[in-house]
Chains A and B, each alone.
Chain A
Amino acid sequence: MPLLELSGIHARYGEMAALQGVDLDLSEGETLALAGANGAGKTTLMRLLCGLMPPSRGEVRVAGICLPPGDPRAAAAAGLALVPEGRLLFDSLSVEENLMIGAGARAGRWSLKAIYDLFPVLRDKRTQPPGSLSGGQQQMVAIGRALAANPAILLCDEISLGLSPLVTREVYEALKSVQREGIALIVVDQDVSRAQAISDRVACMFQGRLTLTGPAATTTPQAMKAAFFGDAA
């Protein structure tokens, strides 16, 4: 049984259809790179998965159990955690408070110490407000904050947005450590090839539909490009 199953997911923003019948699954410990142009529906899918918006049709199952629509607490308890696009850290909280705020949703190995071991640079910044950190360090806090909830599935939206190549490499190294802990990942990144390099499978969206899913190792850039512009491979 897959860890995550989406069947016939539709979502709307008022009159506009953002997702139109998305079917997708993810196995335990699997990593999926999700690609697509701006407005293809990637962020909507991420928001929907973690309960920030309800589907207009369809259902999301985690370990076979249907998630109540639009309930972020239930999604967190089921093991879904989001590293949102733009980090969206709590500015009034210190780095450590940001990391602690989501702790306790589930039991697991991601204690404060484990997060500091993954991102040692944050240990010295623990009392600082996140706004005083560099973009890369802020992304580390965002990843750490999501890990503190001990997720089974980590959703990373635009993971390298605004980061330098050096910092992006660091962030991806951290994601590999997360993979080694058996956590499933869905990674959205404008740099598709980088996300593909750490993934087991790739998927591509166009105008709210999945236009491609396939093994990361054998999906060619040509097939990705065709799916990116809406031509099914």
Chain B
Amino acid sequence: MTALFELLLQGVTLGGLYGVIGAGLALTFGVLRVVNLSHGELITIGAFIAVGVTALAPTVPVLAVLVLACALCAALGGLLQVAFVERAMHFRDPMVPMLVTFGIAVILRNLLVETAGADLRGLNVGGLAQASLQLGPVIIGALPVVTLGIAVVVFAGLAAVIRHTRFGREVRALSDRPDIAALMGIRVARVHVKVAALAAGLAALAGVLLAMRASVSPYSGVSYLLIAFEVVVLGGLGSTRGAFAAGVLLGVTQVLSAWWDSNAGLLYVHLVFFSILVLRAMTGRLS
């Protein structure tokens, strides 16, 4: 029973991370109506910025590295929105911005290989990686708990911003009815840039948290994008709260299935995703 509880707890901590992986994509889709295929690359860039900064200045605290990676990635996301995606959004066909983000993903991935090499990298967090917490009979790693704590704080903060700020109201209005939102005097393009920057910052956060737990390569973006898509589709298109819940579901599935079948990897995660899609299709609730 204790072992099962430990597994569930591990699953929840992993799920928090998956939620963060999907949150930026959910935001981009919900507000911009753009399927951002470069989201995975933004995650890896966030990880590589953190790894690079730590290599150059090992004494910089991890938290400062995390904030710097998020800020730089947010600036990159905003810049890409202004330079490419916003222009592509003027076309009526949603394929145009999607293909633009695909192109951006390819360029970013290759730039990363050229500048950082194709090796696997991880972020050294010192003793935190090995530290563990004892909660009664349950023992759990400190790093996953910290990851979950950060995810919970980020999701709570995101919810508060969306719920209580003018920016949040504008985001919700744009998500509901973009044309009528423009009528209300909302600076649509400016909100788009802020959302793209926020989404890229969340991607970087996910990247740094991933690099703390495992190794990341410039080619990891595609697999992160797949997880992000599953989180977004399960959680409801555009819902950040749903992204967190879906992340937890997939995280718990992965940890439980690894206990059952240690070679399964993400197989059961994808199977659960597929099963829920089939179930939704059968009950007519695909969208």
Interface residues of A (CB under 8 A from B): 50-52, 72-73, 75-77, 81-82, 84, 88, 90-93, 97, 100-102, 104-105, 145, 149
Q: Is the CB of A72 within 8 A of B169?
A: no
- Docked-complex contact A90 and B173, CB < 8 angstroms: yes
Chain B min CB distance to A68 (Å): 13
* A90 pairs with B185, CB closer than 8 A: no
Per the CB 8 Å criterion, the residue count for chain B at the interface is 16
A90 in contact with B183 (CB, 8 Å) = no
Q: Are A93 and B176 touching (Cβ within 8 A)? A: yes
What separation, in Å, do the CA atoms of A82 and B173 have in the docked complex? Answer: 16
Which chain B residues in 150-203 approach chain A with CB under 8 Å?
Answer: 169-170, 172-173, 175-177, 179-187
- Shortest A157–chain B CB gap in Å is 12
Q: How far is the CB of A158 from chain B (nearest CB, A)?
A: 15
* B172, chain A: closest CB distance, angstroms: 4
* Interface pair B172/A104, CB less than 8 Å apart: no
| Given A97-B169, A100-B169, A101-B170, A76:B176 Cβ within 8 A | no
Contact B176 A91 (CB under 8 A): yes
Which of B172, B173, B176, B183 interacts with A72 by CB under 8 Å? B183
Instruction: Looking at the assembled complex, report how far the CB atom of B107 sits from the nearest CB atom of chain A, in whole angstroms.
Output: 32
Contact digits for B111-126, partner A, Cβ 8 Å, 1 yes 0 no: 0000000000000000
Question: In the complex, A81→B176 CA distance in Å?
Answer: 19
In the complex, chain B residues whose CB is within 8 Å of the CB of A75: 183
19 A/B residue pairs, CB under 8 Å, sorted by A: A52-B182, A73-B187, A75-B183, A76-B184, A77-B185, A88-B177, A90-B176, A90-B177, A90-B180, A90-B181, A91-B176, A92-B176, A97-B172, A101-B169, A101-B170, A101-B181, A101-B186, A104-B185, A145-B184
